[in-house]
Amino acid sequence: MHRPRGRGANLSFDKIILVSSAHRFAQRVRPNLMGDMKLGVAMTPNKQGLSIALFDGDTMLGQVALDAAALEKHIQALGMRRSEMAEQVAPTLEPGARLFGLENPAWLTFMDDGGPPNLALRHACFGWLSFAFSPESARLLGVSLVRIADQADGGSPQYRGPPPRS
């Protein structure tokens, strides 16, 4: 556990991430920074929010407190910025890739007036995620899910999706 000095000392930053690229950027802005730059995350005692802090060694440089709605907004904004990065998310899954999956998430399907079929999945970390499919892809997804559900007792299901789009 990381116990900061100064403001925020009442929170226990138990999730600490070394951020070397942030350190290089911060040194350009504040050349007197000496320690390792780290991000810390602490849940409020009532679990109604969390604080994200930037540390230089053990010294907290600043922090921001977020409630659930603000955190979700920032996660979505980070995701949008991530999608703009030169290094894209891998278009296919490597064999044996480890995924952070959720078992039996809440889901729903819908179609907006004249729009494509949509599948919305509730992710405990990222909120509701919506995916729009062409009618052909929606049918293929449905058939693929039925096929692997039928195989669930007989072994490890294989990836059966449409080829990734470039």
Say if residues 56 and 26 touch (Cβ distance below 8 Å). Answer: yes
Q: Quote the CA–CA distance of 26 and 32 in Å, as a whole number.
A: 9
* Residue 130 is assigned to a structural domain of this protein: yes
Distance CA 20, CA 67 (A): 27
91 found inside a domain: no
- Residue-level pLDDT at 1: 46
Distance CA 16, CA 52 (A): 10
1 lies in the same domain as 64: yes
**142 three-state secondary structure:** helix
Give the pLDDT of residue 5.
45
Whether residues 112 and 52 fall in one domain: no
Q: SS3 for 147?
A: helix
Q: Which residues contact 90 (CB under 8 A, 6 or more apart)?
A: none
User: For residue 63, is it within any domain?
Assistant: yes
Residue 146 inside a domain? The answer is yes
Residue 21 lies in a domain: yes
DSSP string covering 27-95: HHH-TT--S-EEEEEEE-TTSSEEEEEEEETTEEEEEEEEEHHHHHHHHHHHHHHHHTSSSPPPSSPPT
Q: Is residue 95 part of a domain?
A: no
Q: List all residues 6 or more positions away from 124 whose beta carbon is below 8 Å from its beta carbon.
A: 102, 105
Same structural domain for residues 64 and 112?
A: no
Cα-Cα-Cα-Cα dihedral sign, residues 130, 133, 138, 144: negative
Q: State pLDDT tens for residues 68-126.
A: 999 999 999 999 999 999 999 888 888 888 888 889 999 999 998 989 999 999 999 88
Average pLDDT over residues 57-77: 90
Domain end among 68, 86, 116: 68
Regarding whether 5 and 64 lie in a shared domain, the answer is yes
- Can you give the pLDDT at residue 57? 79
In a domain, 44, yes or no: yes
Helix (H, G, I), strand (E, B) or coil at 26: helix
Q: Are residues 62 and 9 in the same domain?
A: yes
Quick one: 55 and 2 in the same domain?
A: yes
Counted domains in the chain: 2
Domain holding 38, by residue range, is 1-68
**Same domain assignment for residues 4 and 56:** yes
d(CA 62, CA 106): 37
- DSSP symbol at 119: E
Q: Is residue 97 part of a domain?
A: no
The predicted-structure confidence for 15-38, as pLDDT tens digits, reads as follows 666 555 555 555 566 666 556 778
Of 68, 93, 119, which marks where a domain is finished? 68
Nearest of 4, 3, 1 to residue 61 by alpha carbon? 4
- The segment with the largest mean pLDDT, out of 2-6, 47-51, 133-137, 153-157, is 133-137
Question: Which of 68, 87, 119 is the endpoint of a domain?
Answer: 68
